[in-house]
Amino acid sequence: MAEIEWFDDLRVGMKFKTASWQLAASDIKRFAWEYDPQPMHLDEDAAAKTIFRGLAASGWHTASIAMNLVVQSRPFGRHPIIGMGVDGLRWTAPVRPGDVLDLEGEIVSLIPSTTKPHGSVVTNWAMNNQNGELVYTFSPITIVPRR
Amino acid sequence: MAEIEWFDDLRVGMKFKTASWQLAASDIKRFAWEYDPQPMHLDEDAAAKTIFRGLAASGWHTASIAMNLVVQSRPFGRHPIIGMGVDGLRWTAPVRPGDVLDLEGEIVSLIPSTTKPHGSVVTNWAMNNQNGELVYTFSPITIVPRR
């Protein structure tokens, strides 16, 4: 496959795969203390009494890990990934201590700007855990420069 | 206003306001190293050469700060805020070092579950900076127990 570098190199249907990320209980708690201080994310005993029945990552922690994995996979080449927004953000299963997470993505929309030297890319990303269970989906709208 | 505790206490059109959060350059960089390692979030000099023309927070950092402010404001009373997903997530302006951010929210949809003792709440949240500039919107879909 030719190197992907510009909006013009992208095609609808192109697929991507990221590396994986293993999550520790200590990371879940540290993120939660700073950004989502709720019992199901902070403490095993308190979490056991919630509908999660045990410690689970903040959904925003899951989303942030997904961003890291997507950035490291460089789907659009050397250009920074500049997001305008996200559609279809859904948390579909709890993310637990020890889970190993990775993502697969597919480009579903490519719209060149009529006024600026870039285009807008929509990619459907799906994050699975080590059991192949879908835990998170999101479809970021990203700006990529044209050649 | 009566205390909000259950889904049944909520009404479409109810409005909320959060406390505020001041963001430091060091926080922007620390979040970015862990979750969004790109030049516009990591380093002033590198950021100056991007379309951001200076250091800006990762959008996922902004989203995580918003979650903290919403959690602390307890819009649905003592129950944890359990999110199924988010619609309408848009980053509308860069978030800069020193910015002071707060949010206003309004309930736009209340759908009781037909099978479970809870309901689904959609709230439109808008985050502004200290100049009244809109920087971020999101509409989380949240599960709240019924009385």
Spell out the domain ranges in chain B: 7-145
Has residue A1 got a pLDDT over 70? Answer: no
Least Cα distance to A52 among A98, A102, A95, A99 occurs for: A95
CB contact under 8 A, A91 and B71: no
A47 burial via Cβ count (<10 Å: 0-12, 13-18, 19+): buried
Compare CB distances from A36 to B51, B67, B86 and report the shortest one's residue: B67
Q: Nearest by CB to B80, which of A40, A84, A91?
A: A40
Given a contact cutoff of 8 angstroms between Cβ atoms, the answer to whether B93 and B133 are in contact is yes
Mean pLDDT taken over chain B = 95
Tell me if residue A32 falls in helix, strand or coil.
Answer: helix
Instruction: Dump the DSSP string for A51-105.
Output: TT-S----HHHHHHHHHHHHHHH-TTTTS--EEEEEEEEEE-S---TT-EEEEEE
Q: What would the two tokens of residue A82 be?
A: 């500049």
Query: Predicted confidence band at B3 (pLDDT cuts at 50, 70, 90)?
Result: confident
Q: Which two tokens stand for residue A14?
A: 């192109």
- Residue A30's SS3 state is helix
End-to-end CA distance of chain B: 18
Which residue in A35, A37, A82 is closest to B65 by CB distance?
A35
| pLDDT tens, residue by residue, A105-147 | 999 999 999 999 999 999 999 999 999 999 999 999 999 999 8
Kindly state the greatest CA–CA separation across chain A.
Answer: 55
Under the banding of pLDDT at 50, 70 and 90, the label for residue A78 is confident
Partner-chain residue, chosen from B37, B71, B85, that has the shortest CB–CB distance to A37: B71
CA-based nearest distance A94→chain B, Å: 11
- Optimal mutation site among B43, B71, B138, interface A, most CBs of chain A within 10 A: B71
Least confident among A20-34, A68-82, A122-136: A68-82
Tokens 């100056």, residue located: B48
In DSSP terms, A144 is beta-bridged to A119
Task: Choose from A23, A35, A38, A141 for mutation: most chain B CBs within 10 A.
Answer: A35
- Chain A CA closest to residue B36: A68
For position B49, what pLDDT does the model report? 93
pLDDT at res. B1:
53
* Joined tokens for residue B40: 């516009």
Residue B127 or A3, more confident: B127
ipTM of the complex: 0.95
- A-chain residue closest to B52, CA distance: A82
Residue for token pair 């309930």: B107
CA distance B78 to B104: 19
Contact A67 B85 (CB under 8 A): no
- Percentage of residues in chain A with pLDDT exceeding 70? 99
From the options 3.10.129.10, 3.90.1010.10, 3.40.50.2030, 3.30.70.1170, give the CATH code of B7-145: 3.10.129.10
Question: pTM (2 decimals)?
Answer: 0.96
What tokens does A128 get? 């699975």
Q: Tokens 């997001």 map to which residue?
A: A83
Considering only CB atoms, which chain B residues are within 8 Å of A54? none
Q: Is the pLDDT of residue A3 over 80?
A: no
Identify the CA nearest to B65 among candidates B18, B112, B109: B18
Q: Which of A1-15, A38-52, B100-114, B128-142 has the lowest mean pLDDT?
A: A1-15
Summarize pLDDT for B48-96 with one digit per residue, the tens: 998 899 999 999 999 999 999 999 999 998 888 999 999 999 999 999 9
Chosen for mutation from B82, B143, B144 (greatest number of chain A CBs closer than 10 Å) is B82
pLDDT, tens digit (0-9, with 9 covering 90-100), for B110-141: 999 999 999 999 999 999 999 999 999 999 99
Q: Are B39 and B23 spatial neighbours (Cβ–Cβ below 8 Å)?
A: no
- Taking the C-alpha atoms of residue A123 and residue A140, their distance in angstroms, rounded to an integer, is 6
CB contacts, 8 Å: B146 with chain A? none
Point out which residues pair with A125 in neighbouring strands. A105, A138
For the record, the structure tokens of B87 come out as 């619609």
Q: How confident is the model at residue B2 (pLDDT cuts 50, 70, 90)?
A: low
Residues on chain A bordering chain B, Cβ-to-Cβ distance under 8 angstroms = 31, 34-40, 50-51, 58-61, 63-65, 67-68, 71-72, 80-91
Question: Which secondary structure element, helix H or strand E, spans residue B2, and what is its range?
Answer: none
Which chain B positions have a beta carbon within 8 Å of A63's beta carbon? 60, 63
Least Cα distance to A47 among B5, B82, B120 occurs for: B82
Give the closest of A38, A58, A81 to B38, CB-based. Answer: A81
